Amino acid sequence: MKNLAGVKEADQYIQEELYLAEIELVRGEQSGGEVPYSIIGKLSAWEFRRAWYYWMASAQECNGLPLEVAAQLHEREYPIIGEDQLKNYGQVVRVVGHCGCPHPREWAFPTRKVIEAESKRIGQDLMRTTYGDLAKLCNSGVVQGDRFVNSYHIDNQLGLNEFARVLREQCRKN
C-alpha cells in the first residue's frame, strides 16, 4: 500500500482500496492526522481508517472476530510467493497492529461482562490484570468464556480483501 502520510489526494487512493475490498465508503469530516482523509470504511460493526501505509480496523468489544475465526485467518496460507516470503495472512493482517505478528491467542480477550463474572468466580480482580497475564489465564483455562479480537492493522490490499471476506462470511453465519 502506498504511504499516504501528507498526500492531499488520499481520498482517491482510499476509495479505490475500499472499493476493491467491497467495504462501504462513508464520507465525513477531514481527518486531523498525518493522512488527510475524509472517507472511512464500514463493514458490519467494523470501522476502517487509513494510516500511513496500512489500514486500522476496529470494532466494539462484543463485535470482534471470535478467536477461532481470528486464528483461521491468521494461519491461512498467504497466496502470493515472492521476495517478502510471507507465509500466512497473520503477517499482513496483524492482530492489534502488533509488528511481531503474534497469534490471536495472545491478544484475544473475553468481553468485559465475562471478565467481571470470571473475577467473581475465581476471586481475583481481572479488570486490573495486564493483557499478557489475562491472555495467560485464558490460554491456561483458568478464565473461561468466548474470546474476541477487535483490532487489526492491515498492510496490503490482499490482506484487506481477505479480512473483508472473512467479516462478510461471519455476518452470514450470525
For 122, the 3-state DSSP assignment is: helix
Average pLDDT over residues 59-78: 92
The rounded distance, in Å, linking the Cα atoms of 28 and 37 is: 9
What pLDDT does 85 receive? 83
Residues whose CB falls within 8 Å of the CB of residue 2, separated by 6 or more in sequence, listed in order: 13, 53
CA angle in degrees (0–180, nearest 5) for 5-61-160: 40
Would you say 134 and 108 are in contact if contact means Cβ atoms under 8 Å apart? no
pLDDT digits over 70-126, tens only? 999 999 999 988 767 889 999 999 999 899 999 999 989 888 888 999 999 999 999
What pLDDT does 81 receive? 80
pLDDT digits over 114-173, tens only? 899 999 999 999 988 888 888 889 999 999 999 999 999 999 999 999 999 999 999 888
The pLDDT confidence band at residue 15, using thresholds 50, 70 and 90, is very high
Question: How many other C-beta atoms lie within 10 A of the C-beta of residue 168?
Answer: 13
pLDDT digits over 22-54, tens only? 999 999 888 888 999 999 999 999 999 999 999
